[in-house]
Amino acid sequence: MSNVMKILGIETSCDETAAAVVENGVKVLSNVIASSVDLHAKTGGVVPEVAAREHIRQITPVVDQAMEEANVGWDDIDAIAVTHAPGLVASLLIGINTAQTLSYIYKKPLIPIHHIAGHIYANFLERDEKPAFPILVLTVSGGHNELVLLKGHYQFEVIGETLDDAAGEAFDKVARLLGLGFPGGPAIAKAAEKGNSKAIDFPRPMLDEKNKYNFSFSGLKTAVRTHITDITEGRDNDPGLQDNTINDIAASFQAAVIDVLSDKLVSAAREFGVKEVYLAGGVSANQLLRQTVSDKLKGKILLIYPKQLIYCTDNAAMIAGAAYFCPRKVDFRKIEAHSQFPLET
Ligand code: KG4
Ligand code: ZN
């Protein structure tokens, strides 16, 4: 057997139908993503049934395209990887069912991958350097917000998590309050560029000693809502918020979230004595987060984030990549879907 391993990855946990072929966990041969985000923008958030219907329409052409762009046939594929948790169950099932069927027909091992493990392994895509374990990872997506110690390949220890909203969820909810559309993260970041981050002193919930590596963003979201109500209350012909007010709120909110994320990440990195820090999940696309963490690490600890923006948000290359390092191969009949499932070793 050659030492080249090609894995087909499938990801359908939310509103992206994605398939990719990745060699040895690192080399991306194809990475196809069909997003139904435009449909969800109309409703200001993902509607599970709409997402599931779109997956059904897209999954077969997306897999075909991933195989074609990678220039491979089924004989070249060594295994099939699929996201099994966490996510919208109806959406997950479409990816899982497709992977099961392909695994059965083409007699390929099936590797179930945790979505957040995928996000973590997005940091390895297109990367030549060897990792220096242990690594501290900040996972910041729409549904997840954790501090994870990666002690070795596929050895995760969750040292902190959000007690309520995830950072991406907070971005999405505040964007909705500001009328900035969905998804909120990129919209807030764009508005913030034109705003003053010191205009409003929003709370920075650092929590007590017991929760020093946990997060909480729902109070911050409430503070933004109260601030908006204070401005608009009592207006007769409510003209809404002015653009410069929106930009200032976006910038001040973003600064508060990023202060908390970066402070906790950097102090945990020092406490655990890691040499490398990774950012993972949709919010890792945020330029200010990257810059702030990098400034606070002062060059003493290496900061890594996915090589391309498309590897930050949901994609299947990260699932195929993680599968290469994942020790688990299962009988395709035994795979399960979970809306919530802890990141496990
Ligand atoms: O990882 P992801 O694509 O999906 C989940 O697993 O949830 O993350 C999506 C989240 C959304 O909440 C979106 O608003 C946020 O990532 N996001 C950002 C940025 N780009 C995406 N948040 C802040 N700044 C960004 N540039
Ligand atoms: Zn994700």
Q: How far apart are the first and last CA of the chain?
A: 27
Nearest CA to ligand 1 atom 7: 142
184 lines ligand 1 (CB under 6 A): yes
Nearest to 9 by CA among 18, 104, 205: 18
Mean pLDDT of 78-106: 96
* Residue 143 alpha carbon, nearest atom of ligand 1: 7
The answer to whether 6-123+311-334 and 131-306 have equal CATH topology is yes
Which comes out higher in pLDDT, residue 36 or 162? 162
Confidence of residue 238 (pLDDT cuts 50, 70, 90): low
Angle at 261 between CA 160 and CA 86, to 5 degrees: 55
* Residue 254 alpha carbon, nearest atom of ligand 1: 23
Summarised one tens digit per residue, pLDDT across range 260-315 is: 999 999 999 999 999 999 999 999 999 999 999 999 999 889 999 999 999 999 99
Q: Which of 46, 171, 177, 290 to mutate to test the pocket of ligand 1 (most atoms within 8 A of CB)?
A: 171
| Reduced 3-state DSSP string for 275-297 | CEEEEECHHHHCHHHHHHHHHHH
The per-residue pLDDT for 342 is 83
Which comes out higher in pLDDT, residue 46 or 119? 119
The per-residue pLDDT for 338 is 84
Q: Where are the domains of the chain?
A: 6-123+311-334, 131-306
Return the DSSP state at 78: -
Return the DSSP state at 131: P
pTM of the predicted model as reported, rounded to 2 decimal places: 0.95
Confidence of residue 237 (pLDDT cuts 50, 70, 90): low
Q: Which of 35, 114, 115, 141 to mutate to test the pocket of ligand 1 (most atoms within 8 A of CB)?
A: 141
- Distance (Å) from CA 119 to ligand 2 centroid: 7
Summarised one tens digit per residue, pLDDT across range 276-288 is: 999 999 999 999 9
Alpha-carbon dihedral angle through residues 71, 55, 43, 196, given to the nearest 10 degrees: -40
The dihedral region occupied by 329, where left means phi > 0, alpha psi between -120 and 50, and beta the remainder, is: beta
142 lines ligand 1 (CB under 6 A): yes
CATH topology of domain 6-123+311-334: Nucleotidyltransferase; domain 5 (3.30.420)
The answer, yes or no, to whether residue 330 has pLDDT greater than 80, is no
* Residue 183 alpha carbon, nearest atom of ligand 1: 14
The answer, yes or no, to whether residue 332 has pLDDT greater than 80, is no
The per-residue pLDDT for 45 is 80
- Distance (Å) from CA 236 to ligand 1 centroid: 36
Summarised one tens digit per residue, pLDDT across range 242-264 is: 999 999 999 999 999 999 999 99
The per-residue pLDDT for 120 is 98
* Residue 141 alpha carbon, nearest atom of ligand 1: 8
The Cα 306–Cα 231 span in angstroms is: 39
Q: What is the mean pLDDT of the chain?
A: 94
The per-residue pLDDT for 108 is 95
User: How is domain 131-306 classified at the architecture level of CATH?
Assistant: 2-Layer Sandwich (3.30)
Hey, is 56 helix, strand or coil?
Answer: helix
Summarised one tens digit per residue, pLDDT across range 53-73 is: 999 999 999 999 999 999 999
The per-residue pLDDT for 328 is 78
Which comes out higher in pLDDT, residue 83 or 41? 83
The answer, yes or no, to whether residue 34 has pLDDT greater than 80, is yes
- Distance (Å) from CA 198 to ligand 2 centroid: 30
Q: Which of 123, 283, 288, 339 to mutate to test the pocket of ligand 1 (most atoms within 8 A of CB)?
A: 283
Mean pLDDT of 162-172: 95
The per-residue pLDDT for 40 is 78
